[in-house]
């Protein structure tokens, strides 16, 4: 037989007081005497009563939960972002409701609806690869639900965002490759409508211009998302008569496909071809040769985004909040895949 759940009514009945007195005592309300508070806490322990925090929150019109929507939960980068977020939100008394769009626009829209219906206190989001139209996020803003974006963001929404300084670090990648003697640098990048890939491409072009290096449209490949696509794109790069001597890949997933293609051609990394990735994934040091990549500090991205969210939750009217773009400075981690004697 299922054991009866103890309620606040049972506690009040045992003490011979009202349920409101018990509730105020548990909330340490100043109108309740210290003796009554001690007696209530003792009785609560004896009866093994657990307050229904969800029900209490719903009575107040919200729950102490923050919704987080990420493209892929099995991404090392995104899991570290979540780690950073929770390191800030948990001590503040907020739980996370984590949703995965799986790089699907419709699922992202569905996640937003679900979180709004769940009356979350705020929503944190990194856009899916498919997301171009962000009308569903305007609904969040119009409902005065705090919204913070991180990594993949939409600047046009005018919400708080936490991102890497992708342009500057991408220029640094080009300078590094040039210093190693590479002069014909290609780029294999993701979908150009996505904030991070758009800026990494801009940094690449700026870097070439700054160093007066050749910019060849055939060496600019966009819209690549998987290792297999990167493998095929790399093969295509080397079917032209004018081939690059280095490849800047805007993710480590892309870099892995590029390395596989280069090795299958019989070319040597880094002597024949230099390769640089982006995100400093866990495999970057393990593969041979080890992969030069960009450390994005995802825990810092998540923690900074969470601090902004907590600040927003203290505001009575988030529509009046001054919006900001916070840049986390990434770092180029140099390994063997891009290091050779300068020529």
* Lowest mean pLDDT segment, chosen from 31-45, 52-66, 128-142, 145-159: 52-66
Looking at residues 271-283, what average pLDDT do you find?
A: 95
Q: pLDDT grade, residue 12 (50/70/90)? A: confident
For the entire predicted model, the pTM comes to 0.81
Looking at residues 167-173, what average pLDDT do you find?
A: 98
In terms of pLDDT, which residue wins out, 299 or 2? 299
Q: How far apart are CA 58 and CA 60, in angstroms?
A: 5
* CATH class of the domain whose range is 65-163+298-328: alpha beta
Counting residues of the chain whose pLDDT is more than 90, the rounded percentage is: 73
Nearest-5° Cα angle at 98, 226 to 128:
35
Domain 166-296+332-338 part of CATH 3.40.50.2300: yes
8-51 and 65-163+298-328: same fold?
Answer: no
Residue 25 is predicted with a pLDDT of: 82
Residue 271 has pLDDT above 90, yes or no: yes
Break the chain into its structural domains and give their ranges: 8-51, 65-163+298-328, 166-296+332-338
- Record: fold of 8-51: 434 Repressor (Amino-terminal Domain) (1.10.260)
Encode 34-46: b = buried (16+ Cβ within 10 Å), e = exposed: eebbeebeebbee
Please compute, for residue 225, the number of CA atoms within 13 A of its CA located in the half-sphere on the CB side: 12
pLDDT tens per residue across span 221-234: 999 999 999 999 99
Residue 28 is predicted with a pLDDT of: 73
Is the bond preceding 289 in cis, omega lying within 30 degrees of 0? yes
Q: pLDDT grade, residue 316 (50/70/90)? A: low
Q: pLDDT grade, residue 318 (50/70/90)? A: low
Q: Dihedrals φ, ψ of 254, to 5°?
A: -65, -45
Other C-beta atoms lying within 10 Å of the C-beta of residue 317: 7
Residue 323 is predicted with a pLDDT of: 78
Exposed (0-12), middle (13-18) or buried (19+): which is 76, by Cβ within 10 Å? middle
Q: pLDDT grade, residue 22 (50/70/90)? A: confident
Beta bridge partners of 325: 161
Residue 342 is predicted with a pLDDT of: 45
State both tokens at 240: 């032209």
* Lowest mean pLDDT segment, chosen from 8-12, 112-116, 118-122, 161-165: 8-12
Exposed (0-12), middle (13-18) or buried (19+): which is 194, by Cβ within 10 Å? buried
* CA dist 244 → 15, 21, 48, 293, 333 (Å): 81, 76, 70, 19, 22
* Lowest mean pLDDT segment, chosen from 31-40, 52-61, 252-261, 318-327: 52-61
Please compute, for residue 25, the number of CA atoms within 13 A of its CA located in the half-sphere on the CB side: 22
Exposed (0-12), middle (13-18) or buried (19+): which is 341, by Cβ within 10 Å? exposed
CA max distance for the chain: 91
Element (H, E) at 186: strand 185-188
* Lowest mean pLDDT segment, chosen from 192-196, 315-319, 330-334: 315-319
Residue 260 is predicted with a pLDDT of: 97
Q: Which of 249, 250, 295, 251 is nearest to 273 (CA)?
A: 249
Residue 58 is predicted with a pLDDT of: 47
């Amino acid at each position: 037989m299922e054991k009866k759940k103890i309620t606040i009514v049972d506690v009040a009945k045992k003490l011979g007081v009202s349920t409101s007195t018990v509730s105020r005592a548990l909330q340490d309300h100043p109108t309740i005497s210290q003796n009554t508070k001690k007696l209530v806490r003792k009785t609560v322990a004896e009866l093994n009563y657990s307050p229904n925090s969800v029900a209490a929150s719903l009575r107040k019109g919200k729950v102490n939960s923050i919704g987080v929507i990420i493209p892929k939960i099995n991404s090392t980068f995104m899991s570290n972002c979540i780690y950073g977020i929770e390191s800030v939100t948990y001590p503040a008394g907020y739980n996370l409701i984590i949703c995965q769009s799986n790089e699907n626009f419709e699922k992202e829209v569905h996640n937003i609806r679900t979180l709004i219906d769940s009356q979350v206190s705020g929503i944190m989001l990194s856009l899916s690869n498919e997301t171009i139209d962000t009308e569903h996020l305007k609904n969040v803003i119009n409902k005065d639900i705090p919204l913070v974006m991180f990594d993949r963001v939409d600047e046009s929404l005018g919400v708080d965002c936490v991102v890497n300084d992708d342009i500057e670090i991408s220029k640094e990648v080009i300078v590094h490759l040039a210093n190693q003697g590479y002069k014909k640098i290609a780029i294999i990048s993701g979908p150009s409508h996505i904030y991070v890939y758009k800026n990494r491409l801009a940094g690449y072009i700026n870097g070439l211009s700054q160093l007066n290096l050749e910019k060849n449209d055939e060496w600019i490949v966009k819209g690549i998302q998987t290792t297999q696509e990167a493998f095929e794109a790399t093969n295509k790069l080397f079917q032209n008569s004018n081939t690059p001597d280095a490849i800047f890949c805007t993710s480590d997933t892309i870099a892995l496909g590029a390395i596989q293609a280069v090795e299958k051609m019989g070319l040597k990394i880094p002597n024949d071809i230099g390769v640089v990735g982006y995100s400093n994934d866990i495999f970057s040091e393990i593969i041979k040769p080890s992969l030069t990549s960009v450390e994005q500090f995802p825990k810092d991205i998540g923690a900074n985004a969470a601090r902004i969210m907590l600040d927003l939750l203290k505001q009575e009217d988030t529509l009046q909040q001054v919006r900001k773009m916070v840049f986390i400075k990434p770092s180029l981690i140099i390994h063997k895949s891009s290091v050779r004697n300068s020529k």
